Amino acid sequence: MKVELIKLDNVQQFYHKCKKGTKVDYIVEIFDTFEKTTKTIIFVNTKIYADKVYDKLNNANCRCFIMFSDLKFEERDKCIKDFRDGKINVLIATNIISRGFDMA
């Protein structure tokens, strides 16, 4: 597995170009390899793809949640709180949080 590591202060970002049709399996492989991953956000472009990623990660015993624009504010707020508190370690998100959110 060839991965480029980009370091920021307390953040590690990974970039890997996948062959078509292999992204979801690769994501699962990453979580198998880096078991100590604490908080991860995976951005996807459609709700359908978010469901696919969620199903694969959920079946691999990842604590994950899909965050998209149709969620009520209270649901989004609870999701972010659970992510912050470590109850969820993976957020799968459409463009709803692509501009950022406050983790403080």
Residue 35 lies in a domain: yes
Identify the residue whose tokens are 């149709």: 70
Please check whether residue 104 lies inside any domain of the structure: no
DSSP 90: E
- Mean pLDDT value across residues 33-47: 76
Average pLDDT over residues 9-16: 68
Tokens of 102: 């406050």
Q: What are phi and psi of 58, to 5 degrees?
A: -60, -40
Which domain, by its residues, includes 8? 4-97
Q: Is residue 103 part of a domain?
A: no
Q: What is the pLDDT of residues 45-80, one digit of tens each?
A: 888 989 999 998 899 888 899 988 778 888 888 988
Residue 26 sits in a domain of what CATH number?
3.40.50.300
Domain count along the chain: 1
Is the backbone of residue 36 left (phi > 0), alpha (psi -120 to 50) or beta? alpha
CA distance 19 to 26: 10
The answer to whether residue 52 is domain-embedded is: yes
The pLDDT mean for the chain works out to: 78
